Amino acid sequence: MIKLKDVRKTFNSGKPNEFVAVEKLSLSLDAEKTTVLMGPSGSGKTTLLSLIGCMARPTSGRIWLSGKEITSLPERFLTELRRTTFGFVFQHLNLIKGITALENTMLPSYPLGEKHAALKKRGMELFTRFGIASKANEKTESLSGGEAQRVAIVRALMNNPSVIIADEPTAHLDTRLSGELLEIFSRLKDEGRTLLISSHDPMVCQSVLVDRVINIRDGKIEEERS
Amino acid sequence: MRRTNFFFIYITVCFSLFILIFLHASIRRSREKSALYAKREMVHKFHLTDLCLFTEANYTRHLSQADLHTPFQDAPSSLEHFPSGGIVAPPEIIRRINEKLD
Amino acid sequence: MKNWIDRQKNIIDFTLSSLFRRKGKNIALVSVFTLVVLLLSSVMFFTYSFRKEASIIMEDAPEMVVQRTVAGRHEMIPVSYIKIIQDIAGVQEVKARLWGYYYDPVTGANFTLMVSDEFPLEDGTITVGEGVSRVRLIYEGDWVEFKAYNGEIFELEVVDFLSVESGLVSSDIILITENDFRRLFGTTEEYATDLILRVRNPREITTVAIKVAELLPDTRQILREELLRTYDAVFNWRGGLLIVILTGSLLAFIIFAWDKASGLSADERREIGILKAIGWETSDIILMKFWEGLVVSLSSFLMGIILGYIHVFFIRSALFQPVLKGWAVLYPHFNLTPFINGAQVASLFFLTVVPFTVATIIPSWRAAIIDPDTVMR
Instruction: Tell me whether residues C162 and B68 touch, CB distance under 8 A.
Output: no
Over the stretch B51-101, which tens digit does the pLDDT of each residue have? 988 888 888 888 888 877 777 776 667 767 777 777 776 776 677 666 665
Residue C241 is predicted with a pLDDT of: 67
C101 touches chain B (CB under 8 A): yes
Q: Taking all residues of chain C, what is their mean pLDDT, rounded to a whole number?
A: 88
B51: chain C residues, CB-CB within 8 Å: 54, 57-58, 168-169, 231
Range of the domain at C140: 64-223
Note whether C306 and C361 are same-domain residues.
Answer: yes
A163: three-class secondary structure by DSSP: strand
- Name which of C283, C100, C284, C96 is nearest C174 in CA terms: C100
- CA–CA separation, B73 and B81 (whole Å): 11
Note whether C215 and C247 are same-domain residues.
Answer: no
- Name which of C255, C359, C356 is nearest C297 in CA terms: C356
Instruction: Tell me whether residues C279 and A55 touch, CB distance under 8 A.
Output: no
- Name which of A95, A217, A78 is nearest A156 in CA terms: A95
Residue B99 is predicted with a pLDDT of: 60
Q: Which residue has the higher pLDDT, C174 or A113?
A: C174
Instruction: Tell me whether residues A111 and C281 touch, CB distance under 8 A.
Output: yes
C69: three-class secondary structure by DSSP: strand
Note whether C46 and C188 are same-domain residues.
Answer: no
Task: Identify the CATH number of the domain in which residue C207 sits.
Answer: 2.40.40.20
Residue C81 is predicted with a pLDDT of: 96
- CA–CA separation, C210 and C220 (whole Å): 10
Enumerate residues 6+ apart whose C-beta is below 8 A from A47: A9, A21, A22, A56, A219, C373
What Å distances lie between residue A67 and A4, A211, C93, CA to CA? 11, 22, 100
Residue B44 is predicted with a pLDDT of: 92
Over residues A105-128, mean pLDDT: 91
Note whether C192 and C336 are same-domain residues.
Answer: no
Note whether C117 and C43 are same-domain residues.
Answer: no
A199 in Cβ contact with A36 (< 8 Å): yes
Nearest CB neighbour to C10, from listed A56, A79, A110: A110
- A18 min Cα distance to partner chain C (Å): 16
B60: chain C residues, CB-CB within 8 Å: 326
Note whether C298 and C181 are same-domain residues.
Answer: no
- CA–CA separation, A51 and C144 (whole Å): 95
Among A70-84, A121-135, C185-199, name the one with the lowest average pLDDT: A70-84
Tell which phi-psi region holds residue A44, choosing left (phi > 0), alpha (psi between -120 and 50) or beta.
left
Nearest CB neighbour to A113, from listed C3, C278, C372: C3
- CA–CA separation, C172 and C135 (whole Å): 9
A4: three-class secondary structure by DSSP: strand
Residue C240 is predicted with a pLDDT of: 63
Over the stretch A10-48, which tens digit does the pLDDT of each residue have? 888 888 888 888 888 898 988 899 999 998 888 888 889
A170 touches chain C (CB under 8 A): no
Instruction: Tell me whether residues C53 and B57 touch, CB distance under 8 A.
Output: no
Note whether C235 and C348 are same-domain residues.
Answer: yes
- CA–CA separation, B13 and B18 (whole Å): 9
C293 in Cβ contact with C357 (< 8 Å): yes
C159 touches chain A (CB under 8 A): no
Last residue of one domain, picked from the residues C168, C201, C223:
C223
Instruction: Tell me whether residues C56 and B36 touch, CB distance under 8 A.
Output: yes
Nearest CB neighbour to A56, from listed C2, C284, C371: C371
Q: Which residues of C203-240 are buried (b: 16+ CB within 10 A; e: fewer)?
A: eebeebbebbeeebeebbbbbbebbbbbbebbbeeebb
- Name the band, by pLDDT with cuts 50, 70 and 90, for residue C299: very high
B11 touches chain C (CB under 8 A): yes
Note whether C256 and C192 are same-domain residues.
Answer: no
Question: By CA distance, what is C226's nearest residue in B?
Answer: B92
C57 in Cβ contact with B39 (< 8 Å): yes
Total tally of structural domains belonging to chain C: 2
What Å distances lie between residue C60 and A171, B66, C165, CA to CA? 87, 20, 18
* Residue B43 phi, psi dihedral angles, 5° rounding: -60, -40
**Enclosing H/E stretch for A6:** strand A2-11
Note whether C315 and C339 are same-domain residues.
Answer: yes
C291 touches chain A (CB under 8 A): no
Over the stretch C101-135, which tens digit does the pLDDT of each residue have? 999 988 888 899 999 887 788 999 999 999 999 99
Eight-class DSSP state of C217: T
What is the per-residue DSSP string for C264-304? --HHHHHHHHHHHHTT--HHHHHHHHHHHHHHHHHHHHHHH
Instruction: Tell me whether residues C13 and A83 touch, CB distance under 8 A.
Output: no
- CA–CA separation, C24 and C130 (whole Å): 47
Nearest CB neighbour to C376, from listed A55, A96, A98: A55
Among A64-78, A116-130, A138-152, B73-87, name the one with the lowest average pLDDT: B73-87
Last residue of one domain, picked from the residues C179, C206, C223:
C223
Note whether C191 and C330 are same-domain residues.
Answer: no
C107: three-class secondary structure by DSSP: coil
C299 touches chain B (CB under 8 A): yes
Question: Residue C173 above 90 pLDDT?
Answer: yes
Instruction: Tell me whether residues A108 and C278 touch, CB distance under 8 A.
Output: yes
- CA–CA separation, C269 and C264 (whole Å): 6
- Name which of A68, A47, A43, A69 is nearest A56 in CA terms: A47
Residue B102 is predicted with a pLDDT of: 52
Distance of CA C341 to the CA centre of its chain: 13
Question: Residue C251 above 60 pLDDT?
Answer: yes
Scanning A8-159, the segments in alpha helix (DSSP H) are: 45-52, 75-85, 101-106, 116-129, 145-157
List chains adjacent to chain B, taking adjacency as at least 3 C-beta pairs closer than 8 Å.
Answer: C
Question: Residue C237 above 70 pLDDT?
Answer: no
Question: Residue C238 above 70 pLDDT?
Answer: no
Note whether C128 and C258 are same-domain residues.
Answer: no
Residue C155 is predicted with a pLDDT of: 93
Note whether C27 and C130 are same-domain residues.
Answer: no
Over the stretch A41-61, which tens digit does the pLDDT of each residue have? 888 888 899 889 888 888 999
* Percent of chain C as helix, strand, coil, to the nearest 5: 55, 20, 25
C245 touches chain A (CB under 8 A): no
Residue C77 is predicted with a pLDDT of: 96
B36 touches chain C (CB under 8 A): yes
Share of chain C above pLDDT 90, in %: 56
Question: By CA distance, what is C333's nearest residue in B?
Answer: B53
- CA–CA separation, A219 and A11 (whole Å): 12
Residue C288 is predicted with a pLDDT of: 93
Residue C64 is predicted with a pLDDT of: 94
Question: By CA distance, what is A83's nearest residue in C?
Answer: C279
Instruction: Tell me whether residues C10 and A111 touch, CB distance under 8 A.
Output: yes
Residue A14 is predicted with a pLDDT of: 82
Over the stretch C191-228, which tens digit does the pLDDT of each residue have? 999 999 999 998 999 999 999 999 999 999 999 988 88
Question: By CA distance, what is C51's nearest residue in B?
Answer: B51
A79: chain C residues, CB-CB within 8 Å: 276, 279-281
Last residue of one domain, picked from the residues C192, C223, C254:
C223
B70 touches chain C (CB under 8 A): yes
